[in-house]
């Protein structure tokens, strides 16, 4: 196995995409899949699949393919999705609620165990999933009590940095930030900033290129 510190982030993201069709095929399909077939299901080229997997060792048999069950097990081990993770979420607006109520996260081992908000009108409300919205002042207490390792931020941008500091001070080791601002964390805490507007700008850039290509044809 190569040094994982040198593995590009896009490779890690593609591994997650590879696992989706593998899970579906495991429920009913052939026991073996080729890199060509997996690439076609994921929208990448076969060479990319082989290169991504090669970062982590030797998989499959040349000319035969990959044992689906074994490959999926390896990918889950690499991504650490073969265990459960305790999450909390801060900011219980529409986005926060939709994330907490999404059953797909639970199926993949991401368990929301606490929800927080600063709005007194929301605090104490019980959600359909069974969780109660707690005040932000209880973040530190519940992070320690419930062993929360990952925090999700869905607050307005003005509150995101403050909430980030509260979470990291409480011992949260990783933060997924949906607020439209780049938050800063200490070296002991990993952060992933997700800005929907950046994704849209990337999308419309390629859309405009598509339109220009059609106009010039």
Kindly report the CA angle at 198 between 196 and 199, in degrees rounded to 5?
Answer: 65
User: Is 45 known as a binding-site position?
Assistant: no
Q: Give the pLDDT of residue 5.
A: 52
Q: Give the pLDDT of residue 213.
A: 78
Q: Give the pLDDT of residue 28.
A: 84
Q: Are 152 and 178 in contact (CB under 8 A)?
A: yes
User: Is 91 known as a binding-site position?
Assistant: yes
User: Is 1 known as a binding-site position?
Assistant: no
CB atoms within 10 A of CB 76: 18
Domain with CATH 3.40.50.720 in the chain: 85-197
User: Is 96 known as a binding-site position?
Assistant: yes
Rg value, the chain, Cα = 20
Domain with CATH 1.10.10.10 in the chain: 4-79
Say which CATH topology domain 4-79 has: Arc Repressor Mutant, subunit A (1.10.10)
Q: Note every long-range contact of 20-24, with CB atoms under 8 Å and residues 24 or more positions apart, other chains counting.
A: 22/68, 22/71, 22/72, 22/75, 23/72
CATH class of the domain whose range is 85-197: alpha beta
Place of tokens 């419309």: 204
Q: Are 65 and 25 in contact (CB under 8 A)?
A: no
* Rounded mean pLDDT for each run of 10 residues along the chain, 217 residues in total: 65 93 90 94 94 86 86 93 96 97 93 98 97 98 98 97 98 96 94 91 92 75
């Amino acid at each position: 196995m190569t040094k994982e510190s040198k593995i590009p982030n896009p490779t890690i993201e593609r591994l997650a995409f590879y696992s989706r069709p593998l899970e579906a095929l495991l429920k009913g399909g052939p026991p073996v899949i080729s890199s060509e077939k997996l690439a076609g299901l994921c929208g990448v080229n076969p060479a990319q699949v082989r290169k991504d997997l090669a970062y982590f060792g030797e998989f499959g048999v040349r000319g035969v393919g990959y044992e689906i069950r074994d490959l999926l097990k390896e990918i889950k081990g690499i991504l650490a999705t073969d265990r459960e993770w305790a999450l909390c979420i801060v900011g219980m607006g529409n986005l926060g609620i939709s994330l907490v109520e999404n059953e797909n996260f639970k199926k993949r081992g991401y368990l929301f165990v606490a929800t927080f908000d600063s709005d007194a009108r929301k605090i104490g409300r019980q959600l359909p999933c069974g969780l109660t919205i707690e005040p932000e002042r209880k973040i530190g207490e519940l992070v320690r009590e419930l062993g929360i390792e990952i925090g999700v931020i869905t607050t307005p941008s003005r509150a995101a940095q403050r909430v980030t500091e509260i979470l990291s001070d409480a011992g949260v080791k990783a933060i997924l930030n949906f607020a439209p601002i780049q938050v800063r964390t200490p070296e002991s805490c990993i952060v992933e900033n997700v800005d929907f507007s950046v994704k849209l700008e990337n999308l419309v850039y390629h859309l405009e290129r598509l339109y220009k290509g059609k106009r010039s044809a």
